[in-house]
Structure 1
Amino acid sequence: MIQPMTAKELEYVADSMSNEDLLMKQNAQVAAMATNQALRSLCSQMIQTHQQHYDSLLHAISHHQQTAPTQPQQ
């Protein structure tokens, strides 16, 4: 059976999601300003990669909500 995440692990996941979101925004900003098509393409690929990472982390938190106890542990 999979153990629920600890509060510290949830903090790490939340921090990682924030980092992935920031990386997506930074790549979008560079892509919007870039005049070089190859750079815009690379930024688009990086946005997709970071979106996949973000989605994986979101899935982990969703799965945690399903396995977490609903009552405080004694």
Structure 2
Amino acid sequence: MHAIEFETEIKNGQLTIPTHLLPELSSYQYGKVVLLLKEKPKPKKLFAHKVKIDNFIMPKREELYES
């Protein structure tokens, strides 16, 4: 059995075989495909879970920088 390895994007559920491999593939009748998939990175939500703190008063700028 012969193995060919390449990376490709999946667009609309379809894989694209690189054109330089097509001549080599034409000499085979069957193939077995194994996909090693990499998930898309999930966007980070910085404020996904807001927390309300009762009686919280935002300090004034001067109060933050007092020595």
Q: Return the TM-score normalized by structure 1.
A: 0.27
Scaled by the length of structure 2, the TM-score of the pair is 0.29
Structure showing greater Rg: 2
Structure number with higher relative contact order (C-alpha < 8 Å, ≥ 6 residues apart):
1
Q: Select the structure that is richer in strand.
A: 2
